[in-house]
Structure 1
Amino acid sequence: MLARLQRLVILAVTLAALGWLVGWASEGRPVLAVAGALVLAFGYVFILAVEFVLLACLHGRDETPRAGPLQLLRAWLGECVVAWQVFVWRQPFHAARYPDVPGRPGVRGVVFVHGYVCNRGLWGPWLARCTAEQRPYVAVDLEPVFSDLDIYVPQLEAAVARLEQSTGLPPLLVCHSMGGLVARAWLAATPGAATRVQHVITIGSPHRGTWLARLSRTTNSRHMRQASEWITGLAAREPALHTGRFTCFYSHADNIVFPACAATLPGADNRHLPATAHVAMVFHPEVVSEAARWLAASSSCVAGGASGR
């Protein structure tokens, strides 16, 4: 559903830009024609700029070091590129490029859980790497797109169960943004879930909500507001020991989840990624290395156990 919606948006923006270009060019205004077409085609960069201004203004007394102007500029430029790759290319047109790999016994798998207004296409480079390494994985598509977060819990349960059955091992969960909240909701709602995952890595997840969510009216974005009833209720019902299973990546240049400490969890392994924006964090080398470290550790344990026998 989301891929079709994003294709329609891309088509509409392209037609509007072409219409503006042709219309004003025919009036003998080439500069206005080109400038307007570029603004229509790449207007998202201005929206991103506004988000970065907001995060800088709303840093307040956040415990995370404040991002400097050059760090914010670097993060904005990087996000402009990554956002185009994800929202204009991978998600609308290549979400199904890498089908899930169910795996084989004894090889630990990965469950990828995307965030708000995303689909499995977000994880393209990750899925390509897993496919090349013959690493089992399931990348979920959380549908409906703007639903109550609790509705996604059965979808995550199905993904975890699928890898459990095919590999015989608890999978690693890698979650971006809203996906981290879905993972926590699944852990809180599913008896014995803590023993069914090796570890949970969250990337820019609004564990304590985000200021920006107040500007949206969808059900899941309302859940992600600061001190929302949903987030407060989740924290109250999840066992404290679960947070020790989390590595939470966050950034003082996250243009979606701010203040920055909102992406951390008490008791978790919280790691700061300087000068890195919200979507760009998904592909940060430190995040990729952390996932590889957990998977390598599990492989060593399996190999060690086999040699011991």
Structure 2
Amino acid sequence: MQRIWVLLRLAAALGVGWRFGWAWGAATLGLHAAVLAFAFVQLRWVNRPAPAWGQLLRAWVGEVVASELAFSWRQPWREWAEPDHLPAGATQGVLLVHGFSCNRARWNGWMRRLRAQGVAFVAPTLEPAFGSIDAYADDIEAGVQRLKALTGRMPLLCAHSMGGLALRAWWRRHGAGHAEAPRVITLGSPHQGTRMAALGLGVNAAQMRQGSAWLAQLPGMPDVDCLWTPCDQIVNPAERAMLPGARARRLDGVGHMGLVHSDEAWQLVQDALTSSLSTPRRI
């Protein structure tokens, strides 16, 4: 679907450029950035306290780049550019869980860096893309088991957006089968729902709506860091990205997709991996 969307955008830009001039064709490609600008402006009235205009501008610029990189290049064409990494003798593992309307290529940058560090990782593509979030629990469990078998310990679990809810659905189904609770990092996950889910398609979008019965029955997890931003154009109002009882970490001037590219998120992963070295492996 994303490949078709990229080709349609290019065809439309070429058509407009051929008919009205190439400047107009380039402007056609920029419509996505214009829609994003509106999404950020409205956050001045949605979030309290309101993010500053300078923060919104910085977040918008970064989001244009991050969203184009994800939806026009990595996800349509580079899903398996970075395969799962399970090197013999690895002592640490990370499970990477993507969000709504994405695939495992969302994590290509992180996977490349983890591979260079010798850290094992698994990044499933969650399917069906627009099915129930509960359907992703078994794929997540399979990834956890692969990493536990290799490293002898529970992996670090990192999730973006809807992926944080998928982890909670996994914990509800499979948590009793694990002797230890995982360390979890969520980036812009709608733990308390988001009003923007009303615009989404599919069962999973309905589950993410504010006040959904499914979300109300979803359990929490015991060891979670929630990264959130008042400039999140997808999960808002902003406090909806915070799981009650979790450690909330605020990032300013960053949009929803940009959270994965933030230095703060990567540093939190590094800190979590460092702290896990003090936990003995289970042989």
TM over 0.5: yes
Task: Tell me the distance in 2 between the aligned counterparts of 1:216 and 1:147.
Answer: 12
The equivalent position to 2:238 in structure 1, one of 257, 260, 281, is: 260
Going from structure 1 to structure 2, the CA distance change for 1:199 and 1:191 (only over 3 Å counts) comes to closer
Task: Indicate conservation of the 8 Å contact 1:14/1:41, yes or no.
Answer: yes
CA deviation vs aligned residue, 1:16-59 (integer Å, no higher than 9, x gap)? 111111123xxxxxxxx234312321221112112112322222
Letter in 1 for 2:51: A
Q: Specify the alignment match of 2:86 in structure 1.
A: 102
**2:130–2:201: 8 Å Cα contact kept in structure 1?**
no
Residues 1:93 and 2:77 aligned together: yes
Q: Sort the Cα spacing of 1:193 and 1:290 in 2 relative to 1 into closer, same or farther, 3 A.
A: farther
Please state how far the C-alpha of 1:175 moved relative to its aligned partner: 0.2
2:106 matches 1:122: yes
Equivalent in the alignment of 1:57 = 45
- In structure 2, the gaps of 5 or more residues are none
Distance 2:247 2:205 in 1: 25
Distance 2:175 2:59 in 1: 40
Q: Is the CA contact 1:105–1:168 (under 8 Å) kept in the aligned structure 2?
A: no
RMSD of aligned Cα (Å)? 1.9
Please say if residues 103 and 167 of structure 1, whose CA atoms lie closer than 8 Å, have aligned partners that are also in contact.
no
Q: Identify which of 36, 61, 85 aligns with 1:77.
A: 61
Opposite residue 279 of structure 1, the aligned amino acid is: M
State the 4+ residue runs in structure 1 displaced beyond 6 angstroms. Answer: none
The percent identity for this pair of structures is 38
CA distance in 2 between counterparts of 1:67 and 1:152 reads 34
Deviations 1:269-288 (A, max 9, x none): 11000111001011211111
User: What is the DSSP-based 3-state SS (H/G/I as helix, E as strand, rest coil) of the residue aligned with 2:184?
Assistant: strand
**Alignment counterpart, residue 145 of structure 2, candidates 161, 167, 177:** 161
2:74–2:105 contact (8 Å) kept in structure 1: yes
Give 1:279's aligned residue: 257
Higher helix share: 1
1:180 corresponds, among 150, 164, 167, to: 164
Partners of 1:151 and 1:109 lie apart in 2 by 23
Letter of the 2:76 counterpart:
P
**Structure 2 Cα separation of the partners of residues 217 and 176 of structure 1:** 18
TM-score, normalization: structure 1?
0.87
Quote the Cα distance in structure 1 between the aligned partners of 2:172 and 2:205.
Answer: 20
Segments of structure 1 that go 5 or more residues without pairing to the other structure are 25-32
Q: Distance in 1 between matches of 2:41 and 2:158?
A: 29
Change (3 A) 1:163 1:66: same
Contact 1:106/1:169 (CA < 8 Å) preserved in 2?
no
Deviations 1:202-252 (A, max 9, x none): 000000000111122321111111111111121xxx2x6x2x310000000
Question: Pairwise mapping of residues 30-45 of structure 1 onto structure 2 (< 5 A)?
Answer: 33-45=21-33
Alignment TM-score, normalising by the size of structure 2: 0.94
Cα distance per residue 1:137-186 (max 9 Å; x no partner): 00110111111111111111111111111221100000000000000111
Q: From the CA coordinates, give the structure whose radius of gyration is larger.
A: 1
User: Aligned with 1:87: secondary structure?
Assistant: helix
For the residue of structure 1 that corresponds to 2:58, the secondary structure is helix
Cα distance in 1 for partners of 2:171, 2:68 equals 33
Equivalent residues of 1:111, 1:171 under 8 A apart: yes
